[in-house]
Every structure is written in structure tokens, then in C-alpha cells.
Amino acid sequence: MSRRASSPFPDPLASWLALDFTRPERSYNPEIQGFLSGLLGYPRERVVVEDRHGGGYPDFLLRTREGDPWVVGEFKLDDGFLLDPRRAESLWEAKKKYVTGTTRYVLFLM
């Protein structure tokens, strides 16, 4: 038996792909947190999702032990934000404000 099969945690990718993605973007925050934590083996409490309405914060970030955001990200239901070069550039222009001196990665999750 493989280690994955004996794990008490569900397969994060299978769980993510089983979602129907018909709800509003922010309603997926618990699933985003679980997906990133499970996929990366990262402590769930350091995967922070933004539940406030309005702008000014990334949709999710992964914090270091010290609390610094080393991965910042944005979730979009529409994959056209990555497939269309103009929309991808527009997305980057709008979201690069979240990149700080401690940021090492930017993740766009579609």
C-alpha cells in the first residue's frame, strides 16, 4: 500500500478538481486553503485567505514562521486571465502591488 493511500487526508488535487466552480470566487477560500496546504504539505494556519470584501489584499498568501508573506496569490474562476496574453498582463499589472521584499513567488490559481 502506498503512503498516499494510507493517509488520513484526501488527495488535494482530486478534491480540487471535484469542485464545480459555480459559486462566487471568495466562497472557495476554505477550499483554496485546504488545497494549498494539502498539496504543498504546508501548515494550514499559515495559508491565509482573504475574506474581506474589497481590494487591497491578495486572495491568498503563504506566510513564513515569522509571518512574512513568501507566496502571494490570486484566484480567478476564468482561466482566460492566463490564456489571453493581454488579460494576463492586465492581471499582473493589477496584482503586482502585493509583491514585497519577502515575496518569493506569485501564484495565479485558476
Residue 88 has pLDDT above 90, yes or no: yes
Q: What domain range is 42 assigned to? A: 3-109
CB count in 10 Å sphere of residue 70: 15
In what side-by-side order are the strands of the sheet with 69-75? 47-49, 60-63, 69-75, 105-109
Task: Please give the DSSP secondary-structure letter assigned to residue 98.
Answer: G
Look at the chain and report how many structural domains it folds into. Answer: 1
Residue 20 has pLDDT above 90, yes or no: yes
More reliable by pLDDT, 38 or 5 = 38
Mean pLDDT, rounded, for 16-29? 92
Entry pTM = 0.81
pLDDT digits (tens, 9 = 90+) for 31-70: 999 999 999 999 999 999 987 656 678 999 999 999 999 9
Mean pLDDT, rounded, for 61-84? 93
